[in-house]
Amino acid sequence: MEDSKFFYSNPDSQYGEGVMLDEYNGKWSLVSARQGKDGTVYIQWAYPQARDGSKKPIDKSVPWKVSFGNKEATVSGLRHFLSILEGDAPF
């Protein structure tokens, strides 16, 4: 795995599910991923719906992710969610 990809395994998952912190072109995101029995991490891919209202999936798959932006915005966003989980900030 590359240096800019960090996988966290869900300890309750029997299927190797988890989340990966991923950097691509200076933008950071959390990506749904699974870890195989051999230790290889696989990104989960999704087919978004067409924008014409038909709910038909488009032909191109994209990573199943939540984008944060640059590194500073990512740190700020993750700290925000951490403070909520720790009970320090209101929802």
* pLDDT at res. 1: 45
* pLDDT at res. 84: 81
In a domain, 90, yes or no: no
Whole-number CA gyration radius for the chain: 15
In a domain, 25, yes or no: yes
Q: State which H helix or E strand residue 32 sits in.
A: strand 27-35
Range of the domain at 21: 5-85
Structural domains of the chain, count: 1
- Asked if residues 45 and 59 have their Cβ atoms less than 8 Å apart, the reply is no
In a domain, 77, yes or no: yes
* pLDDT at res. 51: 84
Instruction: Kindly report, residue by residue over 25-53, the tens digit of the pLDDT.
Output: 999 999 999 999 999 999 999 998 888 88
Average pLDDT over residues 42-70: 89
In a domain, 91, yes or no: no
Q: What backbone phi and psi angles, to 5 degrees, belong to 88?
A: -90, -15
d(CA 41, CA 39): 6
In a domain, 35, yes or no: yes
d(CA 39, CA 91): 36
In a domain, 65, yes or no: yes
Q: How far apart are the first and last CA of the chain?
A: 35
